[in-house]
Amino acid sequence: MAAGKYDIVIDQGSGFGLDLTVQESGTAKDLSDYSVRGQVRPTVTSDTLTASFTGVVTNAAQGKINVSLAPSITAAMSAGKYFYDVEIHTSGDSIVTRLLQGTAVVSPEVTR
């Protein structure tokens, strides 16, 4: 399956979360043997890691996952445009599937 494209806006200094349901051929994918990971970088090819999502499988049988960033993580991110992706993977990376990718715009915080 090809990764979906979804551009996100992250409010600097606020928590960010995204709930997803993974499907194959219209049916929820069983994620019992999978983990979730994702990263944010300044460019697609950059070696600089801006942030890592906390990713969890919230309901394996229904294919539900959540990716999030804590307020302390988003507060440390400079305002601007970044790139991100989210993957599911099995132990030892024997199976890796990119689910979602796109741009992440960090909107600057005014209240400090």
Residue 51 is predicted with a pLDDT of 98
Residue 1 is predicted with a pLDDT of 66
Q: pLDDT of 82-98, one tens digit each?
A: 999 999 999 999 999 99
Residue 112 is predicted with a pLDDT of 79
102, part of any domain: yes
112, part of any domain: no
CATH number of the CATH domain containing 68: 2.60.40.10
Burial 6-45 (b: 16+ CB within 10 A, else e): eebebebbeebebebebeeeeeebebeebebebebbeeee
Burial 50-66 (b: 16+ CB within 10 A, else e): bbebebebeeeeebbbb
Nearest CA-CA partner of 61 in 91, 21, 19, 100: 21
The total of structural domains in the chain comes to: 1
38, part of any domain: yes
The range of the structural domain enclosing residue 91 comes to: 4-107
31, part of any domain: yes
Residue 2 is predicted with a pLDDT of 84
Put simply, whether the predicted model's pTM sits higher than 0.75 gets the answer yes
Q: How far apart, in whole angstroms, are the C-alpha atoms of residue 109 and residue 47?
A: 26
Q: pLDDT of 18-59, one tens digit each?
A: 999 999 999 999 999 999 999 999 999 999 999 999 999 999
